[in-house]
Amino acid sequence: MGQLDGKIALITGAARGQGRSHALHLAREGADIIAIDICGGLEGVSTPPATPADLDETRAGVEALDRRIVAAKADTRDLEELREAVNSGVSQLGGLDIVCANAGVFALNRERRPKDARLRAAIWNSTMDTNLTGTWHTLECTVPILIDQGRGGSIVITSSTAGLKAYTYRDTAITAYVASKHALTGLVRGYAKDLAEYGIRVNAIHPTGVHTLGIDNDVVGARVEEDPGLLEVVANALPVDAIEVEDVSRGLLYLVGESGRYITGTGLVIDAGFTLVANG
């Protein structure tokens, strides 16, 4: 018997990284999965994009655990495209219990503040449109379903330590990222208050840097080599440069399972002591 037997979980940004890890962890505990990902790149974002093949790998991993999965390519920035994917998944699997608004970007560039104003705007817009507006779209598409079902539910929004500590580096991408993640804190608190009467809990998860392609890529590597001071801004108190995706998924499971049944309107910090360090 799993902790989530009979539950249906929707995860955005599910093709790889934290999203894939979340899908597999929840499936191991008995949940069926609706996996959504854009499977493509964004203007101003240097991170190698997820692909349809990545989403297929997530699908195969969940099916190997003998759980059902509906996987769909959809852009969280596009409300109607996302709504179609959500409604299709809910219809095929028969309901919805858990929402993991996980899709997000960190658009670090080779330059702190690119000389090209259009690139600076693209970094800002892609970050805010994905991290903040895309999360709001996810709530817009799923909250009415949870309310109509009348059986409560759990929503977890992937924020960051950047949603708790205003670190900066005179860097366009970092400024945009920190602003977007701080905004998510307000989103969590507002929705938690509004949805409490329906038995729907809303929380955030705040990881420090996580070993995914978001930071483990050639652009970030070259940037750190050219500008080692960047490492001081993101340094943790514990002697690790970043945590693993499984560390975040274990925290997610705590929030969405029975262990988190009375937790709402707050955030789970998995930061290796980042918030203790006087950096930024």
- Residue 215 to residues 54, 135, 234: CA-CA distances in angstroms? 18, 21, 11
Residues 6+ away with beta carbon under 8 Å from 65:
24, 27, 28
- Bridge partner list, 222: none
Backbone dihedral region of 121: left (phi > 0), alpha (psi from -120 to 50 degrees) or beta?
alpha
Token couple for 277: 């360090």
For residue 266 the two structure tokens come to 């707050």
Q: What number of other Cβ atoms are within 10 A of residue 250's Cβ?
A: 13
Name 260's Cβ contacts closer than 8 Å, sequence gap at least 6.
Answer: 154, 201, 203, 254
Residue 107 and residue 143: Cα distance in Å, rounded?
29
Tokens representing residue 221 in the block: 């590597």
CA distance 233 to 166: 11
- 191 catalytic? Reply is no
- What does the DSSP 8-state code read for residue 50? P
Catalytic member of 177, 191, 198, 254: 177
Catalytic (active-site) positions? 177
